[in-house]
Amino acid sequence: MLKISYKIKIGSTTITEGKETTLLEVRTNSSLNIPANSCYLTLASPQNLKISPDSPISVELGYDKKTTLVFTGKVSTINWEINQVRIEGISSLENLIITHFNSLYEKSTAGDIVKDILKQGKLKSEKVENGIKFSSYALGNTISAYDHLQRLAQQCGFDTYANTKDKILFAKYKPSTTHELTYGEDILSLSLEKPSAGIGKVEIYGESPASQGQGEKAASWLTKKEVKGTAGNNSGVTLRLVEPAARTQASAQKIAQGIYANLHEKQRGKMKIIGNPQVKLGDGIKITKMPISQQNGTFKVTGVSQILNYRRGFFTIINWEES
């Protein structure tokens, strides 16, 4: 039988199993749909703790002294009680939620823009792919830097998130690891969502109906042919968007394809498995031996919660969708 292990560092304090400070519960959350990763700790016997807001925090979980990093961030909230302390941590992507820019980029790729956003937000990157090249792209201060980051990712058909080392990825989904999970062995429960109607077709209208795919070099009097990109089919709802950054037919088409890939109808679900700290955002999962064979398949991980509780044990919640 495997013995659960953990290592939690908060400032200068390190907490492991068997130490005087007792871990009552730790929960870490990460999701493609939530801006920042989070961590929630409940500790008993907190007398010797030396922590303060903004202290660095990391959480490792595993078995038999072999642990895997599942969260890196900083302390955001500390709640002291008579016999315990509750600590909340958050990743650095929080910086972009409260940051607003006014910037104009010319002849830059989406990756170039993202690197500049991260530089201004003082964030570290793990991987930033180029994506679409724009003739001109503006960031306005009416929305946050994080919203701009997500918008660029959607246009390129990319994912953007912070990994367990608190480094940012901006890249197309290409899982390096696919975890095989078997019903009755790894999978404790599984729920399926009924696919929503989603978007059946996306139409992107570019900067000007005059440019005819010639971008900033076109004269406004040349033609009235519109710059337009489409993706999907005619079933379901058609989403029509005006995108000033799309100055060529090619860029309008790529943006339409990226948005359609994100918004079209998909099968989604959630599962609870025996604690597995190896499962992360950007991974794939292969579900096997379900009672109904149609529920088997390979899917994309869109959310992970790692939960260790001194009464309920160690388990992992995974949100997934069709890739």
Q: What is the pLDDT of residue 131?
A: 93
Nearest to 5 by CA among 302, 291, 282, 313: 313
136: Cα separation from own chain's centroid: 26
CATH architecture of 178-195+266-321: Roll (2.30)
Please tell me the distance from the alpha carbon of residue 269 to that of residue 116, in angstroms, as a whole number.
35
C-beta of residue 97 within 8 angstroms of C-beta of residue 149: no
Domain 4-91 has CATH 2.30.300.10: yes
Please give the angle made by the CA atoms of 156, 158 and 159, to the nearest 5 degrees. 150
The predicted structure's pLDDT at residue 221: 38
Residue 196: predicted pLDDT: 67
Mind listing the pLDDT tens digit for each residue in 173-214?
999 999 999 999 999 999 987 766 667 777 777 775 444 445
Supply the pLDDT for residue 158: 94
Q: Where are the domains of the chain?
A: 4-91, 95-171, 178-195+266-321, 199-263
Record the tokens describing residue 278, joined without a space. 């190896």
CATH 3.55.50.10: does it fit domain 95-171?
yes
Asked if the domains at 95-171 and 178-195+266-321 fall in one CATH topology, the answer is: no
Residues in the chain where the model's pLDDT stays below 50:
209-213, 219-223
Report the predicted TM-score, pTM, of the whole model to 2 decimal places: 0.87
Please give the Cα distance from 37 to 43 (Å, whole number).
Answer: 20
Could you give the maximum distance between any two Cα atoms of the chain, in Å?
77
H or E stretch including 69?
A: strand 66-80
Sheet of strand 199-205, all strands in order from the earlier edge strand to the far edge: 228-232, 199-205, 237-242
Task: Give pLDDT, residue 217.
Answer: 53
